[in-house]
A and B are shown apart, each in its own frame.
Chain A
Amino acid sequence: DTGVSQDPRHKITKRGQNVTFRCDPISEHNRLYWYRQTLGQGPEFLTYFQNEAQLEKSRLLSDRFSAERPKGSFSTLEIQRTEQGDSAMYLCASSHGPVRNEQFFGPGTRLTVL
């Protein structure tokens, strides 16, 4: 296992379209996190899964955003009716918590909404 992977790495879409991103965590990690990072800022927490259960959601996660982790392995993040303000890097991270709880990050998906 080479680490956390994310697909696609880049996505360009038109305003109003729906997009879906995928994250594959490190295989033995039961915790998975989604973040949004805009230029010049640190990652902003969006949501967190422990196995298949979504335990925390940020208020930043509007109704247009939904995340799933159906089998406790990979996760998807969907954005409906994209807006230009959604343009950002979407990062996924996983951890083997709670003992060490350090996060391992994926390369991110860069979304551009035209």
Chain B
Amino acid sequence: AQTVTQSQPEMSVQEAETVTLSCTYDTSESDYYLFWYKQPPSRQMILVIRQEAYKQQNATENRFSVNFQKAAKSFSLKISDSQLGDAAMYFCAYRSASNQFYFGTGTSLTVIP
């Protein structure tokens, strides 16, 4: 079975600075999708960024970018120019070929003004 590991339960960043959240996964599949989701306190989970495993180019969405290392099974999220609204729980997720999603345990990000 696929597993997703987020080894940083909590992270903090100074406003306007850059932070990187780590994620590793275990799979024997070659074709899959990876996602980062954001869950603000008491609010719905929303998609931050997605990466197709067959694409070598790292995905970028405005201030959010990923470092996808397929051989190392690593998928980290970089947040640049951190804003107060970025404070949330961040979940890394893996979508298998059978369309099941597996989530990590999350990283709680605090943004310090």
B100 within 8 A of A: yes
CB pair A43 B99 closer than 8 Å: no
CB pair A102 B103 closer than 8 Å: no
Provide the residues of chain A in CB contact with B47, threshold 8 Å: 102-104
Q: In the complex the two chains form, what is the Cα distance from A4 to B104 in whole Å?
A: 22
A74 within 8 A of B: no
Which of B4, B35, B100, B104 is within 8 Å of A102, CB to CB?
B35
CB pair B50 A48 closer than 8 Å: no
Q: Which residues of chain A in 25-69 are interfacial with respect to chain B, using CB atoms and an 8 Å cutoff?
A: 31, 33, 35, 40-45, 48, 50, 55-56, 58
Provide the residues of chain B in CB contact with A55, threshold 8 Å: 98-99
Q: In the complex the two chains form, what is the Cα distance from A104 to B75 in whole Å?
A: 21
CB pair A41 B101 closer than 8 Å: no
CB pair B45 A41 closer than 8 Å: no
Provide the residues of chain B in CB contact with A42, threshold 8 Å: 4, 6, 91, 93, 103-106
Min CB distance, B103 to chain A, in Å?
Answer: 3
B44 within 8 A of A: yes
A101 within 8 A of B: yes
Min CB distance, B64 to chain A, in Å?
Answer: 14
Known: A102-B35, A105-B45, A106-B44. A45 touches B105 (CB 8 A): no
Known: A101-B33, A102-B50. A107 touches B103 (CB 8 A): no
Per-position contact with A for B4-48: 1 when CB-CB < 8 Å, else 0?
A: 101000000000000000000000000001010100000111110
Min CB distance, B15 to chain A, in Å?
Answer: 26
Q: Which residues of chain A in 66-88 are interfacial with respect to chain B, using CB atoms and an 8 Å cutoff?
A: none
Q: In the complex the two chains form, what is the Cα distance from A62 to B38 in whole Å?
A: 29
Q: Which residues of chain B in 39-83 are interfacial with respect to chain A, using CB atoms and an 8 Å cutoff?
A: 43-47, 50
Name the residue among A35, A55, A91, A102 with the largest chain B CB count within 10 angstroms: A102
Q: In the complex the two chains form, what is the Cα distance from A41 to B106 in whole Å?
A: 7
Which of A40, A45, A48 is within 8 Å of B102, CB to CB?
A45
Which B residues contact A (CB, under 8 angstroms)? 4, 6, 33, 35, 37, 43-47, 50, 91, 93, 95, 98-106
